[in-house]
Amino acid sequence: PLRTSLLMEDIGQALSVQYNNLVYDMKAAGRDIITLSLGEAFFDLPLPAFDGLTTPGLHHYSHSRGLPELRRLLAKYYETRFALPVDPDAEVIVTAGSKAAIHMALMAVLDPGDQVIVPEPYWLSYPAQIRMCRGEPVMVPHDVPVFDFERFITARTRAVIINNPNNPSGHIYTRAELVYLHELADRHGLLLIVDEAYNEFVPPGTEFLAAGALDPDKEHTVTVNSMSKNYGVSGWRIGYLIANQRLTDQVLKINQHLVTCAPTILAAYLAERFDDLLDITRPQIQHTVQLRNRVGTWFTDHGIDTLPGTSTFYLFASLGGSSLDSTEFAGRLLKESAISVVPGIGYGDSCDRYIRVSVGSESEDRIARGVAAIRDLVE
C-alpha cells in the first residue's frame, strides 16, 4: 500500500494558497468574492513586445545559475540601488520563484536537527520549508522585540530568517534592528536569511535598508528577492538569491538536481525589459502602498488595530474582542459576506487574533465594503 512520509503528512498546506484555491473555485462557480486574500498586487502591465517566442534557443534549458544577462542586471540593481556589491558570475542564482530560493538556501545550510529562528508574523512557508529540510523552526512570538532575539539562540541554531518588508505586517526593519541582527549573526556564527520580496513597496520618506549592504562580503547574509511582487508577474516563477560563492556553489547543485534552471523564455524577457518593467510598475506600487496606508486609517477609524507597518499591500488586522479565532473568523467572513482574508494563525501561533488583509487586487470601494464587513463581524 502507498505510504507517504510521516514528516510530509504532518506538514499542512500553505494556508494562503489553500484559501486562494478555494476562492478561485468559488469564482469559477460564479460567486462574486471580494478577494482580500491574494499574495500579489494586480498591475496594469502593457508589456512591451518581445520576439522570444520565435527564438528557438529560448525554448530550452539555460544556465543553471541563471541567464548571464539577467544575473548582471540583478547584480547591478542591488549594487546601484542598495549599495550591495554583487559578483553576477559567483554570487547570484536565479531560481524558479523566490520560494525555491529560500528553500534551497535552507537546504544548503541545514543538517538534521539544526534550528532556525523565525520571528512571527513569519511568511508562512518558512517553518514548513525548514522542516522539509529536516531542520527545526524556533518561533519568536510577535510581541518580542528584535533586540531580545538572542534568548532564542541555542547551540543548534544555524540561521535567522526574516522578511523585510514584512508580509503580513508591512513592517520595515530599522537600521538599528538590522545592525543588531548582524551583530547577533556574527557573534553566534549564524546565517541571516533576508527575504526582500517587497522591497519596492516602500512609501516616500521611509528608509529601506538592504540587510546585505551591512555585510558586503556576504560572510553571513543571504539576500532573497523575487519578480513576483515588484514586477507583478508572480506566475512567471522567477526569483533569485544573492550570497557568498561558498553558499551559491551548494545552491547551484540543488538547483541543478531539482529544477535545472528558471523558465528560460521569461528570464530572457526580463533580461531584455528589466528597467522598462519596473518603470511600469513603480508608480502603481506607490499607488498601492498609499492605498494600503489609507486602508490602515479606515481600520483605525473603525476601532480595529493593525500591527505597526507602512509597507507592502497587506494589513495584519486585530480581531479585538471577537470570540472567534482567526480560522473561524475568516471562514465566517467568506461564507456570510463573500469576503476572503487569510487567518492569522498561518503566520504564527501568536497571531491567531489577527487576519491578513491584502489590498493588492481589489478596487478601493470593494475594499471599503470588505473593511466594513470585518468591523461588523469583529463587533
- Interacting residues toward ligand PLP by CB under 6 A: 39, 97-99, 123, 163, 167, 195, 197, 226, 228, 234, 239
Distance of CA 183 to the CA centre of its chain: 24
Indicate the residue among 115 and 226 with the shorter CB distance to ligand PLP.
226
| Shortest distance (Å) from residue 137 CB to ligand PLP | 15
Indicate the residue among 226 and 318 with the shorter CB distance to ligand PLP.
226
Instruction: Report cis status (omega within 30 of 0) of the bond before 165.
Output: yes
Name beta bridge partners: 358.
314
State residue 218 phi and psi, 5-degree precision: 60, 40
Indicate the residue among 64 and 225 with the shorter CB distance to ligand PLP.
225
CA dist 238 and 78 (Å) reads 16
Beta strands in 135-216 (DSSP E): 136-140, 157-163, 191-195
CA dist 74 and 68 (Å) reads 10
| Shortest distance (Å) from residue 278 CB to ligand PLP | 16
Nearest to 22, CA basis, from 340, 352, 363? 340
Indicate the residue among 20 and 324 with the shorter CB distance to ligand PLP.
20
Distance of CA 309 to the CA centre of its chain: 15
| Shortest distance (Å) from residue 195 CB to ligand PLP | 5
176 φ/ψ sector (left φ>0, alpha ψ -120 to 50, else beta): alpha
| Shortest distance (Å) from residue 202 CB to ligand PLP | 14
Indicate the residue among 239 and 296 with the shorter CB distance to ligand PLP.
239
CA dist 193 and 159 (Å) reads 7
Indicate the residue among 234 and 293 with the shorter CB distance to ligand PLP.
234
| Shortest distance (Å) from residue 97 CB to ligand PLP | 3
CA dist 362 and 329 (Å) reads 20
Indicate the residue among 233 and 334 with the shorter CB distance to ligand PLP.
233
Indicate the residue among 95 and 248 with the shorter CB distance to ligand PLP.
95
Do residues 195 and 98 lie in contact, with contact meaning Cβ atoms separated by under 8 Å?
A: yes
| Shortest distance (Å) from residue 230 CB to ligand PLP | 10
CA dist 136 and 114 (Å) reads 6
| Shortest distance (Å) from residue 351 CB to ligand PLP | 15
Instruction: Report cis status (omega within 30 of 0) of the bond before 127.
Output: no
| Shortest distance (Å) from residue 167 CB to ligand PLP | 4
Q: Rg of the Cα trace of the chain?
A: 20
